[in-house]
Structure 1
Amino acid sequence: MLFSLVSNGTPLTPDRPDATIPWWSYTKTVLAAAALTLVRDGLITLDQPLPEGPFTLRQLLRHEAGLADYSELSDYQGAVACGDTPWPADEMLQRLDATRLRYAPGEGWRYSNVGYLYVARLIERVTDLDLNEALSRRVFAPLGLPRVRLASREADLHGVNMGAAATYHPGWVYHGLLVGPLVEAALCLDRLFAGDFLAHSLLDQMQTVHLLGGPIPGRPWIAPGYGLGLMHGPVEGGRILSGHTGAGPGSVVAVYRSIFGPDVTTCAVFSDGTDEGAVEAEAVRLLSEHWV
């Protein structure tokens, strides 16, 4: 496994040139941050209904909008495994019957990549920029992260450590797939919470969660919850973590932040394979060792 630690804004581990990785669903944290800058600037609100359906931005960010997820489609899994060209987004939505809500918005919880596709479209619509440029201007430039970018073609993954996946088309991640250095994944989360990028009231709302129940088998969560683009809750050992895990064909990344007394530490861990629990457990272990 590769890892990067940041403590109180300072990287504690070397910046490895071979550690440019896919951020997978950690991209959702960045999309949430970008959307919250639009709320911060008065361009949208968290609780206004959106054109895509009878749900709000808050419900999309917390996976409470009633939407299904394209990973449920067996044809999707098969097409990715075969290395097929990604379907156009509208075709995917049609195959999924995405306009049919699986529960009333706000009355349930179901992890949905489709919800974050709608968040990405909202960001583009409000900023009048393509997603890569919008994220660069609204998140990466202000946070001082120059090497993160959106991958949209297979060629964009050249030089990216894709783990055990020999080939992959990033177009299969419909909300967008960010790639960047492992250390910048850790710095992104650290700087998102450490400075004045977002008001404390918005950061508090990011960490106000929909509780998902008790422990998750095979993973270190004791009472996990999902906030606005964040997994948040206590883990084994009693510490509270905020961040996100992302998994794709051939690799897993886990980026988490926690506070222990005056010490604020963020850890990013990347591994070949598909065992999300093992990568999360390694993040917990590294953070625990740092606090000793």
Structure 2
Amino acid sequence: MTRQPPLHACRLFDDGGCETFGDPDLMFPWWSVTKTAIAICALRLAEQGRLDLDAHMPDQPFTLHQLLTHRAGLPDYGSLPAYHAAVRADEEPWPRDALVEAAMAQGRLFAPGQGWRYSNVGYLLAREWIEAVAGQGLGDLVRAQIAGPLGLDSVVLAQTRGQFARTAWPEARRYHPGWVYHGCLIGTARDAARMMQGLFAGQLLRAESLSRMRETLRLGDALPGRPWTAHGYATGLMSGRVGAAGRAIGHSGAGPFSVNAVYHFPDLPRQVTVASFTDGHDEGVAEREAVRLAVSG
């Protein structure tokens, strides 16, 4: 018999309805949904005149916008077998420079703006660039630019094993969040949904900034084992179509022991944002649950 994974989710309707599935107080790793938060912080700082998304990083050929859209031509450390072996062995995270050197030894993949490749290294550099401009760490930036305005009380940038041990999955008790080099937010399913809903409701960005954030590079059609019938990437957002549910805009995430999907579905008669969290390694499980909850509302 196929095991049914545990599901913890929140469904928020634009008309004010809210439903939770599972314990609403449980904390979860947000994994790559953190990329959406980093992109929001960058766009808010740009609105405040504190940075230029299209400026080149000092001594580098790419811009901040190219980093945030995975178009800088940088490789990813996720392709390094030694990285995954070290995580499995529960080692301490590598020094930042050692990680970047190992990843960059794979070589640049294309000239900036001339291709697309998902890169956690790119988001590490984007985070560092934003922190340097703002004079604040990512945790403080998320509190000031996102969690504070929306009242997201649970959201924390996890930096220690002890903080990660607060999350729902038993495996988190021995995982160091420093292995997620761009940072890993933790929080409830409801606050993940509220962040995404607040973004698309215009509570975080001006209309022109949100429009730019949503500009999508189409990457292809269906993905095996996942609900996408067309998929692409915007600025810190996965964006495409999921069959009868129409457009889905948000982000999925995966770590060594859990997955999540946090998406806004604007084409449904009753617009809805869903955050789903489950254990395992297959992002498609969380994505399919998000779609199922969206269309069953």
Q: TM-score range by the shorter chain?
A: over 0.9
Match of 1:210 among 217, 225, 232: 217
Q: Which residue number in structure 1 is paired with residue 14 of structure 2?
A: 8
In structure 2, the residue matched to 1:60 is 67
Report the CA distance between 1:98 and its aligned residue: 5.9
TM-score normalized by structure 2?
Answer: 0.93
Is residue 156 of structure 2 the alignment partner of residue 134 of structure 1?
A: no
> Of 189, 192, 196, which residue of structure 1 is paired with 2:196?
189
Q: 1:261 to 1:119 in 2, by over 3 A?
A: same
Deviation at 1:197, TM superposition (A): 2.1
CA distance in 2, matches of 1:13, 1:163: 25
Q: How far apart, CA to CA, are the structure 1 residues paired with 2:165 and 2:264?
A: 29
Deviates more, 1:124-133 or 1:177-186: 124-133
Matched, 1:25 2:36: no
1:172 equivalent among 155, 167, 179:
179
Does the alignment pair 1:79 with 2:79? no
The question of whether the paired residues in 1 share the 8 Å contact of 2:268 and 2:295 is answered with no
SS at match of 1:255: strand
- Whether 1:236 aligns to 2:243 is yes
**Contact 1:165-1:249 at 8 Å conserved across structures:** no
Question: AA paired with 1:106?
Answer: G
Query: CA contact under 8 A between 2:245 and 2:294: conserved in structure 1?
Result: no
Match of 2:156 among 143, 149, 153: 149
> 2: CA distance between counterparts of 1:52 and 1:163?
43
Mapped contact 1:150–1:179 kept (Cα < 8 A): yes
Shift of 1:166: 5.4
Say if 2:249 is the partner of 1:252: no
Secondary structure of the 2:278 match is strand
Q: Does 1:280 align with 2:287?
A: yes
- Residue 219 of structure 1 aligns with which residue? 226
Shift of 1:45: 1.8
Q: Which of the numbers 240, 258, 264 marks the counterpart of 2:271?
A: 264
Identity across aligned pairs (percent)?
A: 43
SS of match in other structure, 2:62? strand
CA contact (8 A) 2:245 2:267 kept: no
SS at match of 1:111: coil
- In angstroms, what is the RMSD of aligned CA positions? 1.7
- Equivalence for 2:110: 103
Partner Cα separation in structure 2 for residue 196 and residue 262 of structure 1: 21
Give 1:120's aligned residue. Answer: 127
SS of residue in 2 equivalent to 1:224: strand
Q: Tell me how far 1:198 sits from its aligned partner.
A: 0.7
Q: Which amino acid aligns with 1:152?
A: Q
- The amino acid that maps onto 2:231 is P
1:34 pairs with one of 13, 21, 41: 41
SS in 2 for 1:31: helix
Question: How much has 1:263 moved relative to structure 2?
Answer: 2.7
Shift of 1:38: 1.0
8 Å Cα contact 1:231-1:243 kept in structure 2? yes
Are the structure 2 counterparts of residues 97 and 195 from structure 1 closer, same or farther at C-alpha, using a change threshold of 3 Å?
closer
Structure 2 CA distance for partners of 1:266 and 1:235, relative to 1, 3 Å:
same
Matches of 1:225 and 1:219, distance apart in 2: 14
Unaligned 5+ segments in structure 2 are 1-6
Q: CA deviation at 1:207?
A: 1.3
Report which stretch shifted further, 143-152 or 11-20.
11-20
